[in-house]
Amino acid sequence: MTSSTFRFYSRAHTLGMSDYNREPLQGDIPGVRRRAHLIQMTNLHEEDASFEEWHETLVRVRYSETDKMGVVYHANYLVWFEIGRTEFCRARGFSYRDMEENEDAWLVVAESYCRYKAPAYYDDELLVRTHITELRRRSLRFGYEIVRITDGKIIAEGETGHVVTDGKGRVRSFPTGYTQLLATVPESAIHYTQPPGERVPEEIPPE
């Protein structure tokens, strides 16, 4: 069984959030929509924001992140997704802590998905690419690609869906100004004329 056979998919069904009550598109994995259809906004004009910019975060595989087979344990990819999106926010001038302590706003993970395309090993240097695929008044979605530095291979890709709540778990809107910050393009952002998944080949031919 190849690494591409393994998938991790989870979704919160009990939060009662209207933003996630939707019908899957034809050909989708249930609950996961194709990236091309994800850019939807309610309180921003499309011409005011671009979701083509990716933030890149470098991580190195630690020994404790591997399993008995010597490859990275599957759940750790979701940890790297979290690192990617927190650094994405930090590059735009705010942190999760700012939202939680100053605004009583929490980004709850409502949905997560990861497709594993190739294994990662101890001491591999990996690039976590993160961008926004959907931004709404009370929710947003991030898309991710994880690339191994040594060969440029995309080893995993996925998405997470988030809903904004207060400290008691009640759904609320983003605090004033935060959707604008999320749509900001910092100098550190990476822009691709093609999606990164099309830019890097699936297999590197032998020399």
Spatial separation of the C-alpha atoms in residues 160 and 72, rounded to whole Å: 20
pLDDT in the model for residue 116: 97
Mean pLDDT of the chain: 76
* Predicted TM-score (pTM) above 0.75: no
Percent with pLDDT over 90 in the chain: 61
Question: Is the confidence at residue 38, as pLDDT, over 50?
Answer: no
3-13+36-193 under CATH 3.30.460.80, yes or no: no
Q: How far from 88 is each of 73, 94, 128, 183, CA to CA, in Å? A: 24, 9, 10, 11
For 154-196, write each residue's pLDDT tens digit. Answer: 999 999 999 999 999 999 999 999 999 998 877 665 654 444 4
Mean pLDDT of 86-106: 94
Question: Is the confidence at residue 24, as pLDDT, over 70?
Answer: no
What are the residue boundaries of the structural domains of the chain, listed by start? 3-13+36-193
Q: How would you list the strands of the sheet with 154-165, edge to edge? A: 7-11, 106-116, 154-165, 139-148, 125-135, 53-60, 190-191
Indicate which residue of 28, 48, 67, 123 is catalytic: 67
Instruction: Answer yes or no: 67 catalytic.
Output: yes
Token pair in block for residue 44: 């921003």
